[in-house]
Structure 1
Amino acid sequence: MTTAILDRERIKALFDLRSAANVWTGGDFEADPYPIWAKLREDAPVHEGTLHKLTGYPGEAMFQGLPEPDRAHFTAFSYAALDAAYRDPETFASSGSAIDPTTAGLENSMIYMGGTQHRRYRGLVQPSFVPAKAQWWLINWIQEAVQELINNFVNDGRAELNVDFCAAIPVLTITGSFGIPPEEALDLRAVLQDSAAVIQRLVPIVAARREEPKDDLISILVQATMQDEDGVSHQLSDGEIYAFALLLLHAGSGTTWKQMGITLANLLARPEVLARVREDRALLRPAIEESLRWVPTDPMFSRYVTKDVEFFGTELPKGAVLHLNVASANRDPARWDNPDEFDITRQARASFAFGGGPHICLGMHVARAEIRAGVSALLDRLPNLRLDPDAEAPRFIGMYERGVTEIPVLFG
């Protein structure tokens, strides 16, 4: 692998939340939403309306469950409300319509499936994403990408870590696991919203793996067998594999880079905490978990209400969309003391940073492994790592995808 071929300006255009590629999710939102969400959570656990309108975002922003103009919209803000919704997938479904997994497309991937269908499809790839499998990802793709990216700037004494580092690691990891060479990784990221273009690139890879499997993710999908509702076993069709691949590309290259940047920004803004983590790498794990709680990169997920229900004092009609504000729930004082403080020493409690229930993020252990490997390698190879005092400090931005602006650092 050689990562020097990655075009820095192209990475910035594709991954900067303020760019045209990301503004459709509200990437231009630069206010701090947490005080607004805290007030809404204090007033009531559930409010009528979409999250971006309740927050005061002036335009339209798209994400899961949006825009759906013919449905009623509600947003939940408390930890207890989200916990109840995640525990009741029959009432709060992941899709508003039936899913045809044989038809290639992100909308037909397992993230929108429910019940038995979701369990069968998730079970096919779950073994590749369990904590014990993290080493497979580290050895095959993550560690090499991390080290080569650092090689690109280690002698410069300065870097912009959001573009020079964080953005590239996940996209190289997931495309590498598909057998796509580094020089084509950004091409695939650039057409991610065009499912047909992505599938066109995957067609020869899937065909080649059917002929000769390798030690990669596409080969696992090609060789996977699943029992249908009648108990008949069959291999996945090409369409089913493409749907899996589209989901993993969206999730794998679209979230971890932002969360890694959030973790780095939190540590660099607190030099005393960064120094403790540098000296005791066991503290890196709680630092990552606290960053996930404090600012999760995806602050909202949505569910479709399948029946009329009274939910935390609000009547939700059948067919409505309930938006789950995981970011607000992750700062609920009913669950955490001083929840607005960033504190890596707080008692560990599970948050909703990766969602919850049957649809809890499949790749969360790989994401954690990427962040740990990336941050730890920076601390190993960049002595006296610190924010550049002459540059603008990182700021948290974004509505439905939260991340940080540039992370300018000095070292040495």
Structure 2
Amino acid sequence: MKTTSLDRDRVRELFDLQGSYNEATGGKFSEDPYPIWHRLRSEKPVHPGTVHELTGISEPLMFQGLPYPDREHFSVFSFEACNEAFRNPRVFASSPEAVDIDPESGSLVHNSMLSMGGVQHRQYRSLVQPSFLPSNAQWWIQNWIEEAVQLLIDGFVDDGHAELNVDFCAAIPVLTITGSFGVPIEQALDIREALSRDKQKIIDILAPIVAARREEPQDDLISVLVQAERTDESGTTQRLSDEEIYTFSLLLLAAGSGTTWKQMGTTLTALLQRPDVLDKVREDRSLLRAAIEETLRWMPTDPMFSRWVTEDIEFYGQDIPKGSVVHLCVAAANRDPERWERPDEYDITRPTKSTLAFGQGAHICLGMHVARGEMTVGINALLDRLPGLRLDPAAEPPRLVGMYERGATAIPVLFDTK
């Protein structure tokens, strides 16, 4: 793996939260939405309307469950109500309609496990879930994460300064997930750019890799998918088709290269803006896990997940008709004072409680343990190799921005060189 192939200007373009790539999700939103979300939650758990409309954004935005102008929309802001919806997939489905996968149709690549439910979802998820269990975190760390992290730091360790958000945080998940697929590093950014614009281009990159792994499996994720077997309703055991592998790959690429970098940048921002907390973490690395979990609670990078209502329901005082889209504002739920004391305060010493940052229920984030591994290895390495790490006082400080994809702007830092 050689980071010299990474075009840093192109990385900045693709990962700029306020750039054109993220504008459709509200990347230019720079206000603090939490006071409004607090007010909405205190009024009632469920409101008619979308999260961004209720927050004061009038222009249409796109995200999971949006825009769907022909459907009624409702937004949920309390922890209890969001958690209940996550755990009731029969009523709050992850797809606007039932998904029947027909590998022969060639249309599978337009769907994913996110759209499946029930037995089908459990069956497909079970094929790859072992690779993402906490017990396999070291497989990811040793094969891809550690190498990517160290090589990235090698690129600026002698400079005494760096911009950590794009030059470090953004690159780690891209290199990790594409590396696990056996994709050459020079094509990593091609895949990132194509994710929302040209999925066929990604399939064209993956096709020869899949074919090669069928001939000779290696120790990577595509080989896991190639060798995975599932049993259909008739009891026949068969391996995944190429189309099914492409579907898994597109889902994992989208999830693996999009959210973790923003969450890592937010964690670094929270620590760098609190030098006393950063010093404690530097001195006692066992506190890093608490810092990461607190950031997931305090500022999840995906503040909303959507679900489609399959039947008429009265939900926390709100009548919601069948066919509506319900938006679960997990960011507001993660600061619910009914569950956490002083919820707006960033406190790494608070008692640990589960949050909704990765969702809950059957569709809880498959890659959450890999994401935690990337953040843990990355931040530990920065603290190990960059003594005196601190924000650059002469540069514009990082700000947390975005509506449906929240994260930090540039994180300019200084550090001591040997």
- State the TM bucket, normalised to the shorter chain: over 0.9
Task: For 1:231-310, list aligned pairs within 5 A.
Answer: 231-310=235-314
Query: CA distance change for structure 1 residues 358 and 294 in 2, over 3 Å: closer, same or farther?
Result: same
Residue in 1 that maps onto 2:401: 397
Structure 1 gaps of 5+ residues are none
SS, match of residue 21 in structure 1: helix
Instruction: State percent identity of aligned pairs.
Output: 65
Using the TM superposition, name which of 52-61 and 140-149 deviates more.
52-61
Contact persistence 2:311–2:321 (CA under 8 A): yes
Contact persistence 1:166–1:261 (CA under 8 A): yes
Task: For 1:8-407, list aligned pairs within 5 A.
Answer: 8-101=8-101, 102=103, 103-104=106-107, 107-193=110-196, 194-407=198-411
**Residue type at the aligned position of 1:153:** F
Please give the alpha-carbon distance, in whole angstroms, between the structure 2 residues aligned to 1:316 and 1:56.
Answer: 22
Contact persistence 2:109–2:244 (CA under 8 A): no
Please give the alpha-carbon distance, in whole angstroms, between the structure 2 residues aligned to 1:267 and 1:380.
Answer: 15
Please give the alpha-carbon distance, in whole angstroms, between the structure 2 residues aligned to 1:233 and 1:105.
Answer: 19
SS, match of residue 211 in structure 2: helix
Please give the alpha-carbon distance, in whole angstroms, between the structure 2 residues aligned to 1:16 and 1:263.
Answer: 17
Contact persistence 2:153–2:382 (CA under 8 A): yes
TM-superposed CA distance for 1:4, in Å, is 2.2
SS, match of residue 328 in structure 2: strand
Contact persistence 2:109–2:243 (CA under 8 A): no
SS, match of residue 22 in structure 1: helix
**Residue type at the aligned position of 1:141:** W
**Residue type at the aligned position of 1:66:** L
TM-superposed CA distance for 1:23, in Å, is 1.0
Query: CA distance change for structure 1 residues 304 and 310 in 2, over 3 Å: closer, same or farther?
Result: same
Alpha-carbon RMSD = 0.9
Please give the alpha-carbon distance, in whole angstroms, between the structure 1 residues aligned to 2:151 and 2:100.
Answer: 41
SS, match of residue 47 in structure 2: strand
**Residue type at the aligned position of 1:375:** I
SS, match of residue 137 in structure 2: helix
**Residue type at the aligned position of 2:215:** E
TM-superposed CA distance for 1:84, in Å, is 1.0
TM-superposed CA distance for 1:100, in Å, is 4.0
Using the TM superposition, name which of 100-109 and 274-283 deviates more.
100-109
In the TM superposition, structure 1's runs of 4+ consecutive aligned residues that sit over 6 Å from their partners are none
SS, match of residue 20 in structure 2: coil
TM-superposed CA distance for 1:230, in Å, is 2.2
SS, match of residue 180 in structure 1: coil
Contact persistence 1:105–1:246 (CA under 8 A): no
- TM-score, structure 1 as length reference: 0.99
**Residue type at the aligned position of 2:327:** H
Query: CA distance change for structure 1 residues 105 and 383 in 2, over 3 Å: closer, same or farther?
Result: farther
Query: CA distance change for structure 1 residues 391 and 105 in 2, over 3 Å: closer, same or farther?
Result: farther
Please give the alpha-carbon distance, in whole angstroms, between the structure 2 residues aligned to 1:56 and 1:133.
Answer: 43
Deviations 1:248-280 (A, max 9, x none): 000000000000000000000000000000000
SS, match of residue 293 in structure 1: helix
Please give the alpha-carbon distance, in whole angstroms, between the structure 2 residues aligned to 1:319 and 1:353.
Answer: 25
TM-superposed CA distance for 1:107, in Å, is 4.1
SS, match of residue 230 in structure 2: strand
SS, match of residue 281 in structure 1: coil
Please give the alpha-carbon distance, in whole angstroms, between the structure 2 residues aligned to 1:303 and 1:187.
Answer: 31
- TM-score, structure 2 as length reference: 0.97
**Residue type at the aligned position of 1:88:** N
**Residue type at the aligned position of 1:26:** G
Using the TM superposition, name which of 99-108 and 299-308 deviates more.
99-108
Query: CA distance change for structure 1 residues 130 and 65 in 2, over 3 Å: closer, same or farther?
Result: same
SS, match of residue 197 in structure 1: helix
**Residue type at the aligned position of 2:332:** S
Please give the alpha-carbon distance, in whole angstroms, between the structure 1 residues aligned to 2:385 and 2:213.
Answer: 37
TM-superposed CA distance for 1:105, in Å, is 5.5
TM-superposed CA distance for 1:58, in Å, is 3.0
User: How many residues are treated as equivalent by the alignment?
Assistant: 412
**Residue type at the aligned position of 1:258:** K
Structure 2 gaps of 5+ residues are none
Please give the alpha-carbon distance, in whole angstroms, between the structure 2 residues aligned to 1:7 and 1:210.
Answer: 32
TM-superposed CA distance for 1:69, in Å, is 1.1
SS, match of residue 304 in structure 1: strand
